[in-house]
Amino acid sequence: MSTPRRVLPLTLAIALAGAAMPAARAADGDPLTWMVAPYIWAPSVTADLKTPSGGSGGGDTDFFADIVDKIEGGFLGHVEAQGDQFGFMSDVLWLKLGDDNSFAIGNTDSDLSTWLVDVAGVWSPGPERYKGFELYGGVRFIDIEFDASFDPADPAFARREIGPSESYFDFLAGVRYIAHFNDDWSMTFKGDGSWGDTEGTYSAAATLGWSPGNGIWGLGWRYMNVELGNDDENLELSLSGPVLGYVFVF
């Protein structure tokens, strides 16, 4: 199954997304700085599901085109606390996609539900919190349930059902760079990857921040790629799109 990139309807996700947001100002003497950020993410989605061809020559084949392209629900969350050099963060992403379509050669019915949870420690070697380079590492947990069925119009062919439904644990490593142009404007770049049970996951974000007061407005772009599979099936998801949010700092 290969679905072309398609912009989904703008979806409001009330979330805690400090990792994708700009630098926070820490009060002198505070043991920890916390960040909470509701934001909007409007991603487009590309999905590819490949299965063994079954022929003697091996190889992969696409299952069917354009069968998952509608978002049915989503939640993204991030909570973060940081001291002068060390802190922690936790991210939660839940996404549900599904659709049914009619084609000349048959009908499809597909549903995808996935949880992605990150837990990581943060090391900030610079003299100020949320400024300069920061490293983080931990674990990434992914649980996915994917069901796709194809009912051919030709009765000579049998109904087909396919889709991986498994859980995966990866080791997570990432880097973040936060630059301040002045007291009001900042820029954050973030990238990470995970490896282990999955074939690899990757995430990147760039955000411009404006801080008129204690909080921070952020506007940027976020990308995520997840490749999952086993000996029978391989599912790759790519999500990318603009983000807009407000960071509460306390």
Query: Which one is predicted more confidently, 83 or 112?
Result: 83
Distances in Å between the Cα of 5 and the Cα atoms of 26, 55, 66, 162 are 40, 29, 10, 22
* Closest CA relative to residue 65, chosen from 120, 122, 108, 3: 3
pTM above 0.85, yes or no: no
* 4-46 pLDDT, tens digit each: 333 444 444 444 444 444 455 555 556 888 888 777 777 777 7
Cα angle vertex 161, ends 46, 5, to 5°? 10
- DSSP per residue over the chain, as a string? -EEEEEEPPPEEE----GGGS---PPPTT-S-EEEE--EEE--EEEEEEEEE--STT--EEE--BS----EEEEEEEEEEEE-SSEEEEEEEEEEEEEEEEEETTEEEEEEEEEEEEEEEEEE--SSSTT-EEEEEEEEEEEEEEEEEEEEESSTTS--EEE--EEEEEEEEEEEEEEEESSSSEEEEEEEEEEEESSSEEEEEEEEEEE-SSSSEEEEEEEEEEEEEE-SS-EEEEEEEEEEEEEEEE-
Q: What is the mean pLDDT of the chain?
A: 76
Indicate the class that CATH gives domain 2-56+66-249: mainly beta
* C-alpha distances in Å from residue 38, one per residue of 4, 20, 47, 248: 29, 11, 27, 8
- On the question of pLDDT at 73 being above 50, the answer is yes
For the chain, the structural domain boundaries read 2-56+66-249
Tens of pLDDT, residue by residue over 169-216, are 999 999 999 999 998 999 999 999 999 999 899 999 999 999 887 788
123, pLDDT greater than 90: yes
Q: Report whether pLDDT(249) > 70.
A: yes
